[in-house]
Amino acid sequence: MHCQRCSRMQLTREYKSISENPPPYIVAHPSESNILEWHYILTGPPSTPYHNGQYWGTLIFPPDYPFAPPAIRMHTPSGRFQPSTRLCLSISDFHPKSFNPAWEVSTILIGLLSFMTSEEMTTGSVGATEAERKWAAGRTRWWNSTGGGSWTESGKGLQKGNVKAGDGGAKFRSEWPELDKENWKWMKENKIDPMTGNPMVESGSGNTGNTCAPGMALRRPSGSQPIAGAVVEGGRAVGQEGRGWLRQNKLLVSGMLIFTYVLIARLLGEGTGGKIS
Domain CATH code at residue 192: 3.10.110.10
For the residues 148-169, what does the mean pLDDT come to? 64
Could you list the active site residues?
A: 88
Number of H helices, E strands in the chain: 8, 6
Question: Picking from 49-53, 158-162, 220-224, which range would have the lowest pLDDT averaged per residue?
Answer: 158-162
Say what the pTM is: 0.74
Long-range CB contacts (< 8 A, 24+ apart) of 201-208?
none
* Radius of gyration of the CA atoms of the chain, in A: 24
157 and 67 within one domain: yes
Q: Which band of pLDDT confidence, cut at 50, 70 and 90, is reported for residue 215? A: very low
The residue range of the domain holding 251 is 245-276
Q: Distance between CA atoms of 112 and 129, rounded to whole angstroms?
A: 20
The more confident residue out of 36 and 232 is 36
Residue 15 pLDDT: 98
Domain check: are 175 and 256 in the same one? Answer: no
Do 139 and 255 belong together in one domain? no
From residue 118, alpha-carbon distances to 98, 125, 248 in Å are 20, 11, 27
pLDDT (tens digit, 9 = 90+) per residue, 56-102?
A: 999 999 999 999 999 999 999 999 999 999 999 999 999 999 999 99
Q: What share of the chain in percent tops pLDDT 70?
A: 67
Question: Coil, strand, or helix at residue 91?
Answer: coil
Q: In 3D, which of 100, 26, 38, 29 has the Cα closest to residue 73?
A: 38
CA distances from 163 to 79, 183, 231, 236, 247 (A): 18, 18, 7, 11, 29
Quote the mean pLDDT of the chain. Answer: 80
Do residues 190 and 55 both lie within one domain? yes
Query: What does the pLDDT read at residue 151?
Result: 80
Q: What percent of the chain has pLDDT over 90?
A: 61
pLDDT computed for residue 5 by the predictor = 86
Q: Look at residue 9 and tell me whether its pLDDT is greater than 70.
A: yes
Looking at the fold, whether 206 and 121 belong to one and the same domain comes out as: yes
Q: Kindly state whether residues 128 and 89 are assigned to the same domain.
A: yes
What is the pLDDT at residue 209? Answer: 41
Asked whether residue 261 falls in the same domain as residue 133, the answer is no
22/147 Cα distance (integer angstroms): 27
- The 3-state DSSP composition of the chain as helix, strand, coil percent (nearest 5) reads 35, 15, 50
How far does Cα 31 stand from its chain's mean position?
A: 20
Amino acid 244: pLDDT: 43
Q: Indicate the range of 103-117, 164-178, 230-244 predicted with least confidence.
A: 230-244
Residues 18 and 75 reside in one and the same domain: yes
Whether residue 247 is predicted with pLDDT greater than 50 in this model: the reply is: no
Q: What is the pLDDT of residue 3?
A: 73
- Are 107 and 150 within one domain? yes
C-alpha–C-alpha distance, residues 76 and 174, integer Å: 16
Same domain, 146 and 256: no
> Going by DSSP bridges, is the β-strand pair 230-231/54-60 parallel, antiparallel, or unpaired?
unpaired
Q: Are 163 and 124 in contact (CB under 8 A)?
A: no
Residues 47 and 151 in one domain: yes
d(CA 8, CA 73): 21
Whether residues 23 and 37 fall in one domain: yes
Q: How many domains does the chain have?
A: 2
Query: Does the pLDDT at position 158 exceed 60?
Result: no
Contacts with 68 (C-beta within 8 Å, 6 or more apart), sequence order: 62, 93, 96, 99
